[in-house]
């Protein structure tokens, strides 16, 4: 429990300061993307020099990515939907389903357990142990139980990422300030409203930290499960490309996965920032 709290507190403080330290908005923007561009250029130079088939030039990778997933068709939004349907949609659908399932179960169960007086103590050791299982190790048992299909992947992701959400929710709910709860009782705020208006908002920062950690783990499980046994998806695509010696395709897949991972993360952070705007402002980014 202590590990979770410290990690999330430090990690959030770090992430907040990391983002907040900008050398001015516009110049920060330039520096950021300039650095990325620089890496791309360096890669290009080294790759064309070395001519290693394993590290194709960035331009090749980019053009292949364009060829694979983009079309010249304006009506389709310039996207090659047939390939995207096979490569990208299944992956992220499974990811979304698994993660949302875990979030729903984790938060609801976490609130129930956190609010019950000693229930958390009964449940803690078991939940901590389950959380400690490295997610990849869950793949063989899930293969045995559910085979190789979509159902297995969604269940795997959900089971693998529910624990940080559950633990953080329990922790957040248990740490609601007693003064706030007393105030609620004084002013006759009923149990249901207490939950929605006080307990959940107070626990929200910790819950979101758990959701963020879970998102990262979910991404890992999504990719791994597709490499172990799948007929579609981006992880499957990357592995397939490697096995059929199509190294440029492999890198295109890695690139797209990276961009998607970045976008998902950025999107989540955006949402978190809005929901927890009061919290960030209150803490003022202080440690």
Partner 1 sequence: MSSRLLAVEDLGLTYGTGQTAHVAIAELDFAITTGEFVSIVGPSGAGKTTLLKCISGLLPPTSGDVRLSGQVVDRVPDRLAMVFQDYSRSLFPWLTVGGNVDLPLGRQGLTRQDRRKRVEESLNAVGLAGFAERHPWQLSGGMQQRVAIARALAYQPEILLMDEPFASVDAQTRAGLEDLVLAVRERFAMTILFVTHDIDESVYLADRVLVLSRSPARVVADLETALPHPRDQIETKERGDFVHLRGEVARLIRAESMAGASNAIP
Partner 2 sequence: MARAPRPDRRELPRWGRGLVGVIVVVLLAEAFTRAGPVNPAYLPPVSDVLLRVVELLTSAEFLGQVALTLQAWAIGLGLAVAVGVPAGVVLGSSNFVYSATRALVEFLRPIPSVALIPLAILLFGLGTEMKVSLVVYASLWPILFNTIYGMHDVDPVAKDTARIYGFGRLAVLTRVSLPSAAPFIYTGVRIAAAVALILALSAEILGARHGLGQWIVAAGAASRADLVYAGVVVTGLLGFLINWVTVVGERRLFGWQPALREAQ
Which positions lie near partner 1, rule CB under 8 A? 177, 179-180, 182-183, 185-190, 193, 197-198, 201-202, 204, 278-279, 281-282
- Nearest residue (CB) to partner 2, 39 versus 277: 39
- Nearest residue (CB) to partner 1, 273 versus 279: 279
Neighbours of 134 (CB within 10 A): 9
What are the distances in angstroms from CA 252 to CA 172, 223, 231, 258?
A: 41, 15, 18, 10
Joined tokens for residue 243:
């096995």
What is the end-to-end Cα distance of the chain in Å, rounded?
20
Within 8 A by CB and 6+ apart from 185, the residues are none
What is the C-alpha separation between 180 and 186, in angstroms, rounded?
10
Q: In the bound complex, what is the minimum distance in angstroms from residue 21's beta carbon to partner 1?
A: 22
- Nearest residue (CB) to partner 2, 130 versus 181: 130
What are the distances in angstroms from CA 81 to CA 60, 68, 107?
A: 21, 10, 35
What is the C-alpha separation between 153 and 221, in angstroms, rounded?
8
**CA 38 from centre of chain:** 27
Q: In the bound complex, what is the minimum distance in angstroms from residue 115's beta carbon to partner 2?
A: 16
In the list partner 2, partner 1, none, the entry touching 262 (Cβ below 5 to 8 angstroms by class) is partner 2
- Nearest residue (CB) to partner 2, 103 versus 217: 217
Q: In the bound complex, what is the minimum distance in angstroms from residue 258's beta carbon to partner 2?
A: 4
In the list partner 2, partner 1, none, the entry touching 124 (Cβ below 5 to 8 angstroms by class) is partner 2
Q: In the bound complex, what is the minimum distance in angstroms from residue 260's beta carbon to partner 1?
A: 32
In the list partner 2, partner 1, none, the entry touching 132 (Cβ below 5 to 8 angstroms by class) is partner 2
In the list partner 1, partner 2, none, the entry touching 227 (Cβ below 5 to 8 angstroms by class) is partner 2
For the stretch 238-247, contacts whose Cβ atoms lie closer than 8 Å and that sit 24 or more positions apart, written own/partner, are 247/53, 247/54, 247/56
- Nearest residue (CB) to partner 1, 80 versus 195: 195
HSE-up of residue 180 (Cα within 13 Å, Cβ side): 14
In the list partner 2, partner 1, none, the entry touching 76 (Cβ below 5 to 8 angstroms by class) is none
In the list partner 2, partner 1, none, the entry touching 180 (Cβ below 5 to 8 angstroms by class) is partner 1
What is the C-alpha separation between 30 and 282, in angstroms, rounded?
30
What is the C-alpha separation between 195 and 115, in angstroms, rounded?
9
Q: In the bound complex, what is the minimum distance in angstroms from residue 74's beta carbon to partner 2?
A: 29
Per DSSP, 54 falls in state: T
In the list partner 2, partner 1, none, the entry touching 144 (Cβ below 5 to 8 angstroms by class) is partner 2
List of residues contacting partner 2 (CB under 8 A): 2-3, 5-7, 9-11, 14, 17-18, 21-23, 28, 31-36, 39, 54, 118, 121-126, 128-130, 132-141, 143-145, 216, 219-220, 223-224, 227-228, 235, 238-239, 241-243, 247, 250, 253-254, 257-258, 261-262, 264-265, 287
Cβ contact 3:128 at 8 Å:
no
Q: In the bound complex, what is the minimum distance in angstroms from residue 197's beta carbon to partner 2?
A: 25
């Amino acid at each position: 429990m202590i590990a979770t709290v410290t990690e999330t507190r430090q990690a959030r403080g770090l992430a907040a300061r990391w983002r907040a330290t900008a050398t001015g908005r516009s110049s920060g923007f330039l520096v950021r993307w300039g650095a990325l561009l620089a890496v791309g250029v360096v890669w290009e130079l080294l790759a064309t020099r070395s001519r290693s088939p394993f590290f194709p030039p960035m331009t090749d990778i980019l053009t292949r990515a364009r060829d694979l997933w983009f079309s010249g068709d304006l009506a389709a939004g310039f996207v090659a939907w047939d390939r995207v349907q096979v490569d990208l949609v299944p992956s992220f659908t499974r990811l979304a389903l698994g993660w949302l399932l875990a979030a729903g179960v984790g938060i609801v169960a976490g609130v129930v357990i956190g609010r019950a007086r000693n229930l958390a103590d009964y449940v803690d050791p078991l939940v901590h142990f389950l959380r400690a299982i490295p997610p990849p190790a869950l793949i063989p048992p899930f293969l045995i139980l559910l085979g190789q299909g979509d159902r297995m992947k969604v269940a795997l992701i959900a089971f693998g990422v529910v624990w940080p959400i559950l633990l953080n929710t329990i922790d957040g709910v248990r740490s609601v300030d007693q003064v706030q709860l007393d105030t609620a009782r004084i002013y006759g705020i009923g149990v249901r409203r207490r939950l929605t208006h006080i307990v959940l908002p107070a626990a929200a920062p910790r819950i979101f930290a758990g959701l963020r950690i879970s998102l990262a783990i979910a991404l890992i499980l999504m990719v791994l499960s597709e490499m172990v046994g799948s007929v579609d998806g981006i992880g499957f695509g990357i592995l397939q490309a490697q096995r059929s010696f199509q190294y440029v395709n492999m890198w295109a897949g890695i690139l797209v996965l990276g961009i998607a991972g970045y976008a998902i993360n950025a999107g989540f952070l955006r949402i978190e920032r809005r929901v927890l705007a009061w919290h960030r402002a209150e803490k003022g980014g202080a440690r």
